[in-house]
Copies of this chain bind each other. A is one copy, B any other.
Amino acid sequence: MWIPIRTNEDSAEPLYFQIEVQLRALILSGQLAEGTLLPSIRELAGDLNCSVITIRRVYQDLENEGLLRTKQGTGTFVAKVGTDDRERYRRDAVVEAFRAAVEAGVRVQCTDDEMRSIFDEVLKAKRYELDEKGTT
């Protein structure tokens, strides 16, 4: 099974963290449905070209968060998460990200309009980037 995760080893963020963020997003956005069997730690480690242990840590952290459920000898599955919980989690993640952005703006005394304009520009750029990929 193939999972769309990309890692960037130039990033300051630890590998395991990059993977966690993306996997968490896949689950919370419903792209990986409840009960889905994830690739084995060895397989994913091979795909992402990293150590088994790194993946194990990812799976374990997400299990501690209640997003995964692992059974020895069987594999690791997407856990049942209440739709409400999922929606809350999902929203929280985004709210938190925007809070940080607004914080950064306020710190350098941006006006609301400045921020709005930057936001629009960034969003537009992102959508354009995605469209291109989709088209390609």
For the A-B complex with A25-B107, A29-B108, A29-B109 known, give 7 more contacts whose Cβ atoms are closer than 8 Å. Answer: A94-B108, A95-B122, A97-B103, A97-B105, A98-B101, A112-B127, A119-B119
The answer to whether B118 and A91 touch across the interface, beta carbons within 8 angstroms, is: yes
- Residues on A lying within 8 angstroms of B by beta carbon are 9-10, 14, 21-22, 25, 28-31, 64, 69, 71-72, 90-91, 93-110, 112, 114-116, 118-119, 121-123, 126-127, 130
| Bound Cα distance from A104 to B24, whole angstroms | 11
- Which of A14, A21, A94, A105 has the largest count of B CB atoms less than 10 A from its CB? A94
Task: Specify which chain B residues have a CB less than 8 angstroms from the CB of A29 in the assembled complex.
Answer: 107-109
- Which of A93, A97, A126, A130 has the largest count of B CB atoms less than 10 A from its CB? A97
Copies of this chain, whole number = 4
- Which of B21, B107, B123 interacts with A115 by CB under 8 Å? B123
Task: Specify which chain B residues have a CB less than 8 angstroms from the CB of A127 in the assembled complex.
Answer: 112
The minimal Cβ–Cβ distance linking A92 to chain B, given in whole angstroms, is: 10
Task: Specify which chain B residues have a CB less than 8 angstroms from the CB of A103 in the assembled complex.
Answer: 97, 126
Closest to A104 in B: B97
- A123/B118 contact (C-beta < 8 A), A29-B107, A94-B104, A101-B100 known: no
- Which of B31, B108, B114 interacts with A93 by CB under 8 Å? B108
